Amino acid sequence: MIIVAIGSFFRNAVISIVASFMGVGGGWGFYGVGGIGILLALFGVGLASFSLMLDFQSIRQAISMGLPEKESWRLAFGLTVTLVWLYLEMLRLFAIIAGRRD
């Protein structure tokens, strides 16, 4: 279920990028279109947060199963990617909220 949600979010993000090149939402794509942008950003933050929780759970499971130390880089890479994704989604949400105040 999470894979479908992440895939759908990625598809919407790509479509939003293409739409932003066409001037939709003042260059923000679908994130700049009314309340839809805030909902999309909140969904992205929630999805990234849930993915972060799953990353920590997989790290805990790998430790308990005694995964070889040479495989730990994969878990660290996944955790880093998720943290960057969460950071970008939070920045996007804050930018949308700050832009609505002006």
The C-alpha angle 87, 102, 37, rounded to 5 degrees, equals 45
Tens of pLDDT, residue by residue over 82-101, are: 999 999 999 988 988 887 77
Tens of pLDDT, residue by residue over 43-54, are: 999 999 999 999
Query: What pLDDT was estimated at residue 102?
Result: 62
> Percent of the chain beyond pLDDT 90?
48
- In this predicted model, which residue has the larger pLDDT, 88 or 34? 88
The residue segments making up the domain with residue 33 are: 2-101
Q: Give the count of domains, the chain.
A: 1
Phi, psi of 62 (to 5 degrees): -65, -40
- pTM of structure: 0.83
Q: Return left, alpha or beta for 69; rule: phi > 0 is left, psi -120 to 50 is alpha, else beta.
A: alpha
Q: What residues contact residue 15 under an 8 Å CB cut-off, 6+ apart?
A: 29, 30
Closest residue by Cα to residue 12 from 48, 40, 39 = 40
